[in-house]
Structure 1
Amino acid sequence: MGSSSFSSSNAMTLLLGLLIVSSLIVVSASNFYQDVDVTWGDGRGKILNNGELLTLSLDKASGSGFQSKNEYLFGKFDMQLKLVPGNSAGTVTTYYLSSQGATHDEIDFEFLGNLSGDPYIVHTNVYTQGKGNREQQFYLWFDPTKDFHTYSILWNPQHIVFYVDGTPIREFRNAESVGIPFPKSQAMRIYSSLWNADDWATRGGLVKTDWTQAPFTASYENYNANACVWSSGVSSCASRSPSSNYTWLTQELDSTSQQRLKWVQKNYMIYNYCNDAKRFPQGLPPECSVNP
């Protein structure tokens, strides 16, 4: 009995040890010191808690921002954000992928601030070869200032998908078949910023930033890039073995995800450029036939 008890105790100790080690591996896999550079804001962007937390702040003098150390060509990118609480009218928190130059590609999440009690607007856009104007906007089904929520971008050769807590809210399919370039040749970095845009962000600019509420702060944690790192013209995915876990590279929306996407778009979408005939009197953009 004593020997059996000793073995059980050892097994439990070993299991706890393995759990602790595995949790350390998860934490070390998401470390802002290793993954990003705070690029502007004169100290308003801070990495805290041994690299586990990043905060961006905005006051009347300046906002702040960061970018990923790596460039990527395709990937699945997850970030947990807690948005500016209270009266955040006039502020914009961004989280996006972008290349550089006049013909850049870009995949945007922008979170438009609000008056206390009003919902945030999630603004999405996709640029290909320098051309954007592909906005879709949504309300969220929760308060994004109370807790951290996961915002994800899937980018592979077939499509781009925007997710909130694992629920797809928007899909932009490859529309090369109708002559629209698709982001597949320009490496992109992850960028994020918190800045003042009270000339347009809240109710078209009618509601201005209340600087008595400053500093405004957004918080980030658990950044994960399951992606092809681009370095010196070579992709890290070029040498992947057949057993590697690159399922996201060919991932499509299954029937359940398609139903969830329809649910979000039916209940929470507040603007879709592909439904805005007044904006495009000469006819809707051609990719709308592929991305209804």
Structure 2
Amino acid sequence: MAQHCPLTSLMSLAMLLNAAFCANFSDFFQPLWAPDHIATEGDHINLSLDTVSGNVWFSYNLDDFYLYLFGKASMQIKLVEGDSAGTVTAFYMSSEGPNRDELDFEYLGNVSGEPYLVQTNVYVNGSGNREQRHSLWFDPTLDFHTYSLFWNRRYIVFLVNGIPIRVFANKEENGGIYPKSQAMSIRGSMWNADDWATQGGRVKTNWSHSPFVATFRSFEIDACELSPETDDVEAECAVSRHFWWDKPSVRELNRHQSHQLKWVRRKHMVYDYCKDVARFTELPRECIN
């Protein structure tokens, strides 16, 4: 079991032979840009957005990326309070380059009193446009909530407080595409996206409320850690090594999780690209059962 740290709880499969350990945020994450908009406050990391800049951080030490293929990554986040229209806060995994793979949680701000929407997306070989959007059954600005990405060869699960809100299944046998050959770093960011984020861009960012601040804490990862120099990442994290995410018990959602997913889809899904026949003259292959 991973050890919980005041700020950061880290454990990768490469560390299983050693004890889980605690460390400072700066030991595992570095700003990619705008370090002056990323502040450590006790056991919290505050990301701020104003008219000058947003920000991005990613898993990186003084020498190289921390990269992962398959496993689970979680972060507790408290989102921007009040009028957050136009802003996007994100927790995601991504590889490098134009043909990147990427798994996204994007939190779309709204005017005061209106709910946040959580947008999830999957990029494979640089191709995205696989969005789903959900409302939440709580106010994500009042307290911290846990957002998790689970990923193996069979499916990707997006979870909120341990409840699955989306499953992206591997349907390569039906002609679909699936991210499984590019190791990804862990990232967080905050930026202005008032051209699309709130009511399709109709509501713009009110900069009189800036700086907008979102707070991250309690990062956890249990995944296959790789070096950027690894040539065959799939072989390095092969099923034959019997990682926990390849065990029969997690090859599909259990009955309780399946019921939770159905409840979320029925009560909280507001958009599914697989249902958008106006957008796609031919639905993506992974949308076909």
User: Do they fold alike, i.e. is TM over 0.5?
Assistant: yes
Match for residue 269 of structure 1? 269
- Closer, same or farther: CA 184–239 of 1 in aligned 2, 3 Å: closer
Match for residue 258 of structure 1? 258
Is residue 207 of structure 1 aligned with residue 231 of structure 2?
no
- Closer, same or farther: CA 238–278 of 1 in aligned 2, 3 Å: closer
Higher helix share: 1
Cα distance in 1 for partners of 2:100, 2:241 equals: 31
Please say if residues 70 and 245 of structure 2, whose CA atoms lie closer than 8 Å, have aligned partners that are also in contact: no
Is residue 150 of structure 1 aligned with residue 142 of structure 2?
no
Q: Deviations over 1:232-282 (max 9, x none)?
A: 30767569976xxx423442211110110010000000000111111122x
Q: Deviations over 1:33-67 (max 9, x none)?
A: 22211221141101232xx3211000111011200
Give the TM-score of the pair, scaled to structure 1: 0.84
Give the TM-score of the pair, scaled to structure 2: 0.85
Cα distance in 2 for partners of 1:261, 1:239 equals: 26
Map 1:18-33 to 2 at 5 A.
Answer: 28-29=21-22, 31-33=24-26
- Closer, same or farther: CA 142–66 of 1 in aligned 2, 3 Å: same
Please say if residues 38 and 46 of structure 1, whose CA atoms lie closer than 8 Å, have aligned partners that are also in contact: no
1:112 aligns with one of 101, 108, 127: 108
Q: Deviations over 1:64-111 (max 9, x none)?
A: 120012111112000000001000001000111111122211111100
Is residue 48 of structure 1 aligned with residue 41 of structure 2?
yes
Q: 5+ residue gaps in structure 1?
A: 1-21
The one-letter code of the counterpart of 2:160 is: V
- Closer, same or farther: CA 241–285 of 1 in aligned 2, 3 Å: closer
Root-mean-square deviation (Å) = 2.1
Q: 5+ residue gaps in structure 2?
A: 10-20, 61-65
Map 1:1-292 to 2 at 5 A.
Answer: 28-29=21-22, 31-49=24-42, 52-69=43-60, 70-231=66-227, 232-233=229-230, 237=237, 246-250=243-247, 251=250, 252-281=252-281, 283-290=282-289
Q: Deviations over 1:167-213 (max 9, x none)?
A: 00000000111122211111111111111111111111111111111
The alpha-carbon deviation at position 30 of structure 1 amounts to 6.0
Please say if residues 88 and 191 of structure 2, whose CA atoms lie closer than 8 Å, have aligned partners that are also in contact: yes
Please say if residues 30 and 222 of structure 1, whose CA atoms lie closer than 8 Å, have aligned partners that are also in contact: no
Cα distance in 1 for partners of 2:198, 2:241 equals: 48
Cα distance in 2 for partners of 1:209, 1:30 equals: 36
The one-letter code of the counterpart of 1:63 is: G
Sequence identity percentage? 49
Cα distance in 1 for partners of 2:258, 2:122 equals: 20
- Closer, same or farther: CA 278–237 of 1 in aligned 2, 3 Å: closer
The one-letter code of the counterpart of 1:248 is: W
